[in-house]
Structure 1
Amino acid sequence: MFTLPRTPSQMFGGIGSVLKSFVRVREIVDGVVCLNFGRKMYEYRSIIKLTTLNFSLMSEEDQDALIEGFKGFLNGLSFPVQILIKNLPYRLDEYLNSLDKIDDELSDVMRDHAHFVRQLASRRALIKRNFYIVIPADQSMTRNKEEALRNAQTQLQLRCDELLRQLERLGLSGHRLNDKEILHLYQSSFLSEEAKLFPISDNLMAGANNLMVSAKEPQGEKPDLQTLLEKDEDYLLEEEKPDKKRKKKKQKTKKQKTPDFVSVPELIAPSSIEVFPWAVRIAGELGHEFVRTLVFVNYPRSAYPGWLDAIIQVDEPNVDFSLHISPLPPQQVTSRLGRKATEFRGSVLASQRQGKAPDPSAAIALQDIEGLRERLARGDERIFSLSLFVQVRGRTRRELSERNNRLVAAIRSLDFRALPAHWQHHAGLLSCLPDGDNQLGRARLFGTSSAATFYPFTGSDISMDSGVMFGVHPNGSLVILNPFNSQELENANMVVFAKSGAGKSFFLKTVSCRLLPTCNVYVIDPEAEYNNLCERVHGQYVRLSSESLQLNPFDLYGRPDALEEDEGTDEGNFFREKILNLITFFELLLSDEGILSQKEKAFLYRCLIKTYENRGITMDPRTHHRTPPNMQEFFVIMSSASRGDKRFGVGEDTFGLSDRLERYLHLFPSRTRVILDNRFVDFNIRELNDALKPVGLFLITEFLWTKLRQARQERVLQRHSIILIDEAWLLMQFQQGAKFLAAFARRIRKYGGGLWCTTQNSDDFLGSEEGRTILAMATMKFLMKQDSSTIESVMRTFRLSPGQRNFLLAARRGEGLFSTKSWTPMEVVASPKEAEMANTTLTLASSVRSTEALLEELELEDLEPPLNGYSKKHPERA
Structure 2
Amino acid sequence: MAIDVQKKGFDASALTAGGVKYTKPKKEEELKKKAEEEKVALEEARVYRKGIASIKDLIAPASMKIDPSYVRLGDVFCRTLFIVTYPRYVTVGWASPIINLSAQLDIAMFFYPIKADVILKELKRKVGVVEAQITMDAEAGKPRDPASETALRDIEQLRDDLTQGIEHFFQFGFYCTFYSTDVEELNRLSNQVETTFGSMLIYTKRAYYQAEQGFNATMPLGNDELMITFNMSTSPIASSFPFTSAELTSDQGILYGVNRHNNSLIIFDRFSLQNGNAVIFATSGAGKSYAIKLEILRSLMLGTEVIVIDPEMEYKHLSDAVGGTYINISLASSAKINPFDLPKPSGEAVSTEDVIRSAVIILKGLLRLMLGKLTVQEDSILDRALLETYAKKDIVAGADLSAVEPPILQDFQDILEGMQGTEDLVVRLRKYTEGTFSGLLNSPTTVNMDNILVIFSVRDLEDELRPMAIYTIINYIWNTVRSERKKRILVIDEAWWLMQHEDSAKFIFALVKRCRKYYLGVTTITQDVNDFLTSPYGQAIVTNSSLQLLLRQSPASIDLIAKTFLLTQSEKYLLLESGRGEGIFFAGDKHAAIQVVASYAEDQIVTTDPKQLLKIEQEKREFEKALGEEREGPAAPDIEAGK
Same fold (TM over 0.5): yes
Rounded to whole Å, the distance in 1 between the matches of 2:354 and 2:501 is: 25
1:686 maps to which residue? 459
Q: Is the 8 A contact 2:496 2:528 kept in 1?
A: yes
Of 608, 615, 619, the match for 2:393: 615
**2:333 pairs with 1:533:** no
Of 404, 408, 423, the match for 1:653: 423
Q: Secondary structure at the match of 1:72?
A: strand
Q: 1:782 to 1:601 in 2, by over 3 A?
A: same
**2:290 pairs with 1:506:** yes
**2:387 pairs with 1:601:** no
1:544 maps to which residue? 329
1:211 maps to which residue? none
Q: Percent identity?
A: 31
1:587 maps to which residue? 368
- Give 1:604 deviation, angstroms: 1.9
Rounded to whole Å, the distance in 2 between the matches of 1:597 and 1:539 is: 44
Rounded to whole Å, the distance in 1 between the matches of 2:497 and 2:240 is: 49
1:780 maps to which residue? 547
Give per-residue Cα distances to partners, 1:587-621, cap 9 Å, x unaligned. 11222xxx432222222222211211111111335
Q: 1:560 to 1:534 in 2, by over 3 A?
A: closer
- Give 1:167 deviation, angstroms: 11
1:762 maps to which residue? 529
Q: Secondary structure at the match of 2:234?
A: strand
Q: 1:609 to 1:294 in 2, by over 3 A?
A: farther
**2:483 pairs with 1:476:** no
- Give 1:295 deviation, angstroms: 4.3
Give per-residue Cα distances to partners, 1:720-743, cap 9 Å, x unaligned. 010000000011111111000011
**2:354 pairs with 1:573:** yes
Question: How many residue pairs are counted as aligned between the two chains?
Answer: 439
- Give 1:325 deviation, angstroms: 12
Rounded to whole Å, the distance in 1 between the matches of 2:241 and 2:381 is: 65
Gap runs ≥5 in structure 2: 1-60, 62-71, 106-163, 177-199, 204-222, 621-643
Rounded to whole Å, the distance in 2 between the matches of 1:455 and 1:493 is: 33
Of 405, 412, 415, the match for 1:637: 415
Q: 1:69 to 1:385 in 2, by over 3 A?
A: farther
- Give 1:385 deviation, angstroms: 1.9
Q: Is the 8 A contact 1:81 1:326 kept in 2?
A: no
1:521 maps to which residue? 306
1:177 maps to which residue? none
- Give 1:801 deviation, angstroms: 1.1
Rounded to whole Å, the distance in 1 between the matches of 2:370 and 2:529 is: 24
Q: Is the 8 A contact 2:172 2:231 kept in 1?
A: no
Q: 1:680 to 1:384 in 2, by over 3 A?
A: same
Which has more radius of gyration? 2
Letter in 1 for 2:327: V
Rounded to whole Å, the distance in 2 between the matches of 1:481 and 1:502 is: 22
- Give 1:673 deviation, angstroms: 1.2
**2:441 pairs with 1:668:** yes
Report matched runs for 1:356-505 at 5 Å: 380-389=226-235, 454-456=240-242, 458-474=244-260, 475-485=262-272, 489-505=273-289
Rounded to whole Å, the distance in 2 between the matches of 1:509 and 1:782 is: 14
Q: Is the 8 A contact 2:286 2:581 kept in 1?
A: yes
- Give 1:297 deviation, angstroms: 4.9
1:127 maps to which residue? none
- Give 1:708 deviation, angstroms: 0.8
- Give 1:452 deviation, angstroms: 11
- Give 1:513 deviation, angstroms: 0.8
Q: After the TM superposition, list the runs of 4 or more consecutive aligned residues in structure 1 that deviate by more than 6 angstroms.
A: 68-71, 163-172, 298-305, 324-327, 560-563, 844-847
Q: Secondary structure at the match of 2:484?
A: helix
Rounded to whole Å, the distance in 2 between the matches of 1:132 and 1:547 is: 62
Rounded to whole Å, the distance in 2 between the matches of 1:735 and 1:844 is: 42
Give per-residue Cα distances to partners, 1:647-687, cap 9 Å, x unaligned. xx565423433334332222235321111110101111111
Q: Is the 8 A contact 2:331 2:438 kept in 1?
A: no
Rounded to whole Å, the distance in 2 between the matches of 1:791 and 1:844 is: 35
Q: 1:845 to 1:572 in 2, by over 3 A?
A: farther
Of 544, 553, 565, the match for 1:798: 565
TM-score (norm 2): 0.61
Rounded to whole Å, the distance in 1 between the matches of 2:265 and 2:82 is: 32
Rounded to whole Å, the distance in 1 between the matches of 2:263 and 2:347 is: 55
Q: 1:562 to 1:761 in 2, by over 3 A?
A: closer
Rounded to whole Å, the distance in 1 between the matches of 2:498 and 2:170 is: 59
Rounded to whole Å, the distance in 1 between the matches of 2:468 and 2:239 is: 56
2:489 maps to which residue? 722
Q: Is the 8 A contact 2:431 2:438 kept in 1?
A: no
Q: 1:599 to 1:463 in 2, by over 3 A?
A: farther
**2:471 pairs with 1:698:** yes
2:603 maps to which residue? 835
Rounded to whole Å, the distance in 1 between the matches of 2:274 and 2:347 is: 34
RMSD: 4.2
- Give 1:302 deviation, angstroms: 13
Q: Is the 8 A contact 1:82 1:325 kept in 2?
A: no
Letter in 2 for 1:659: R
- Give 1:843 deviation, angstroms: 4.8
Letter in 2 for 1:82: Y
Q: 1:453 to 1:621 in 2, by over 3 A?
A: same
Q: 1:606 to 1:551 in 2, by over 3 A?
A: same
TM-score (norm 1): 0.45
Q: 1:606 to 1:528 in 2, by over 3 A?
A: same
Q: 1:301 to 1:674 in 2, by over 3 A?
A: closer
Q: Is the 8 A contact 2:386 2:412 kept in 1?
A: yes
Letter in 2 for 1:590: L
Q: Secondary structure at the match of 1:480?
A: strand
Report matched runs for 1:94-109 at 5 Å: none
Give per-residue Cα distances to partners, 1:108-129, cap 9 Å, x unaligned. xxxxxxxxxxxxxxxxxxxxxx
Q: Secondary structure at the match of 1:756?
A: strand
Q: Is the 8 A contact 1:560 1:625 kept in 2?
A: no
Q: Is the 8 A contact 1:726 1:757 kept in 2?
A: yes
Rounded to whole Å, the distance in 1 between the matches of 2:102 and 2:429 is: 58
2:81 maps to which residue? 72
Letter in 1 for 2:489: I
Q: Is the 8 A contact 2:353 2:397 kept in 1?
A: yes
Q: Is the 8 A contact 2:172 2:229 kept in 1?
A: no
Report matched runs for 1:86-97 at 5 Å: none
Q: Is the 8 A contact 2:552 2:577 kept in 1?
A: yes
Rounded to whole Å, the distance in 2 between the matches of 1:478 and 1:743 is: 34
Q: Secondary structure at the match of 1:83?
A: coil
Q: Is the 8 A contact 1:618 1:624 kept in 2?
A: no
